[in-house]
Chain A
Amino acid sequence: MIWNQAESAPREAIEATQVARLKETARRVYAISPFYKKKFDELGINPEAIKSVEDVQKLPFTKKQDLRDHYPFGLFCVPMSEVVRVHSSSGTTGKPTVVGYNAHDMDVWNEVMARVYTMSGASAEDVVHNGYGYGLFTGGLGFHTGAETIGAAVVPASGGFTDRQLMLMRDFGATVLACTPSFALHLAEVAAKAGNDFRKDYKLKTGIFGAEPTSKGLKEEVAKAWGIDYHEVYGLSEIIGPGVSCSCKHSDRLHIFEDHFLAEIIDPKTGEVLPEGERGELVITTLTKQALPIIRYRTGDITSIVKEPCACGRTHARMESIVGRADDMLIVNGVNVYPSQVEHVIANTEGVTLNYQIIADKKGHLDKLEILVEVSDDILVDNVGDMERIKKDIQASLLNNLYINAAVRLVEPRSIERSVGKAVRVVDKRKD
């Protein structure tokens, strides 16, 4: 099933729509946003000069830092009276990245999420168990209103409370599971304690998983553990939230909803656009967003895009499942973490040095983060209570500013491994 025939439009029609919408978006941001007007003027770009999809390459990039620099609503292009929803992700200096939606943007979001659900085999007949976190993150509410759009019954389970979630999935007869792949596997593992034939108690048929990089092996494991179809969803709050792209049952690649998002692949070092099929950094321009239109957003995600039509009937270009990052961002249980954010927290803690190490590992199927911090050479305290307080302060600050639960371990001065004098900041043991 295909939700919208736009998904299977001929390539020429897709591009005609893209050019018209790109031009309109460029006109709007140039007229309304001082930030974009300045950027366009600096490059000598007039929105009227946009004649083809390729002309997007003349436009300036937008980076995450630009959103932070205009915290909270500085890049919004509609008055607050028109904004109906705000979401945010964590920020480096305690200031998060804020995104906003007007009613039209909510319609766009629900439209692309309806396509995601339909592509994953869900319909109004289904019970959707939504295990994405509800709150400031876009995951929970994006999947929630998307499910309502297709008329499915949605169970807003949010994260955590594994046993209760399993009970709800059984008792409510969930047929669609939406959550991070690692949580899906964790659920299966706990469910299996009831016996190897646990699947007879569940009615799941399909799952929509995303928000973290996922190996082919993990996908197969999740699909096998639950005996369901595995569909991968991709998105980011700066663009819309979940719903930028999704995989159909015919391919591991994810269809990008090209009538709403214009995707390019660039060389992250030079900024040059790469030929079709080559791997590079994904750059996205929103074509229909009004409250927060974004021009050429540097996602930092490494992937490739092909445009050949798919066996499912859709003609929208397909991206590879994300293969890596252009920067040092870590994804921990679906939450984006930059080492610089951790560093900022530690810099504001007395009694410890800025020599730290972030260790990402797996505990069962879930990610766990441990932060090693060297105590300062001239230890300020010699009692355990004060040391414990330092640990708790760092933990609380990480939770408040980055929304992550991390274990903090105080270690001896100069004990963290250094390479050529520089401490090794990140050790990711999840990559085998």
Chain B
Amino acid sequence: MKTIEQLSIFLENRTGRLGEITRRLADMDVSIRTLELVEAGDFGILRLILPDVHAVKEQLSTQGISAKITKVFAVEIADNVGCFHRVVSALADEGIDIAYTYTVHNGAQGAFVIKTAEADIARAIARLENDGVTVLDAV
């Protein structure tokens, strides 16, 4: 299945905290593919897609930083108006809730990263591929 593993790190909202994490990632020589930071008042969650989330989670853990691996999937952003709407309405049609979504772009290609309940992922991918949406192996 074309799922992608994403690393989520809980962050307290205080000065310098994000920098502490990014410094450690740089020290580990980790190339960050995608990054999304959501904030909710006094805390936030940093979501990262990296080449080897398990190794990074392990290393962060030895440094006292907790992270969680979650499965998401990514679909290609087709270069036409309404493409996101087609993805969203197909999932709605299947009765699948999107927990959150964000976009990434690597210069050549753009993608929507989508999080649904894990049990819904296979069905979501099948439906989207059936509708002609390109589901990506990696971002």
Residues of chain A touching chain B, judged by Cβ–Cβ distance below 8 Å, are 375, 377-380, 382-385, 387-388, 409-415
Contact = CB atoms under 8 A, between A and B. Distances in A.
B134 to A, nearest CB: 25
Contact of B66 (A379, A384, A410): A379
Interface stretch (B8-16, B76-84, B121-129): B8-16
Nearest to A407: B42
B70 A411 contact: no
Nearest to B64: A414
Kindly name the residue among A375, A383, A388 whose own CB sees the greatest number of chain B CB atoms within 10 A: A383
A388 B44 CA distance: 11
B99 interface: yes
Interface in B27-56: 38, 40, 42-45, 47
B16 to A, nearest CB: 13
Contacts of A414: 64
A383 B47 CA distance: 10
A380 B70 CA distance: 10
Contact of A377 (B12, B47, B66): B66
Contact of B45 (A382, A409, A411, A413): A382
Interface string B73-111: 000000000000000000000000001100000000000
Given A378-B68, A410-B42, A383 B12 contact: no
Given A384-B45, A387-B45, A414-B64, A379 B40 contact: no
A387 B11 CA distance: 12
A379 B47 CA distance: 13
Given A375-B10, A412-B10, A412-B11, A387 B47 contact: no
Given A378-B68, A379-B68, A387 B40 contact: yes
Contact of A382 (B42, B65, B68): B68
A421 to B, nearest CB: 15
Contacts of A384: 38, 40, 44-45
Contacts, number: 51
Nearest to B13: A409
A384 B40 CA distance: 7
Nearest to B68: A379
A327 to B, nearest CB: 31
A414 B64 CA distance: 8
A407 to B, nearest CB: 9
Contacts of B45: 382-384, 387
A380 B40 CA distance: 17
A409 B42 contact: yes
Nearest to A380: B68
A387 B40 CA distance: 9
Contacts of A410: 10, 12, 42-43
A374 to B, nearest CB: 9
A268 B12 CA distance: 41
A379 B64 contact: no
Contacts of A413: 10, 64, 66
20 contacts: A375-B10, A377-B66, A379-B67, A382-B8, A382-B45, A382-B47, A382-B70, A383-B99, A384-B40, A384-B45, A387-B43, A388-B40, A409-B42, A410-B12, A410-B42, A412-B12, A412-B65, A413-B64, A414-B64, A415-B12
A110 B22 CA distance: 66
A377 B44 CA distance: 16
Contacts of B99: 383, 385
Contacts of B11: 412
Contacts of B115: 382-383
Nearest to B46: A382
A228 B42 CA distance: 42
A383 B42 CA distance: 14
Given A384-B45, A410-B42, 8 more contacts: A379-B10, A379-B68, A382-B45, A383-B99, A384-B44, A412-B11, A412-B65, A413-B66
Contacts of A379: 8, 10, 66-68
Nearest to B8: A382
Kindly name the residue among A377, A384, A411, A413 whose own CB sees the greatest number of chain B CB atoms within 10 A: A384
A413 B42 CA distance: 15
A388 B99 CA distance: 14
Nearest to B7: A382
Closest 3 interchain pairs by CB? A382-B8, A384-B40, A379-B68
Contacts of A412: 10-12, 65-66
A384 B68 CA distance: 14
A413 B6 CA distance: 20
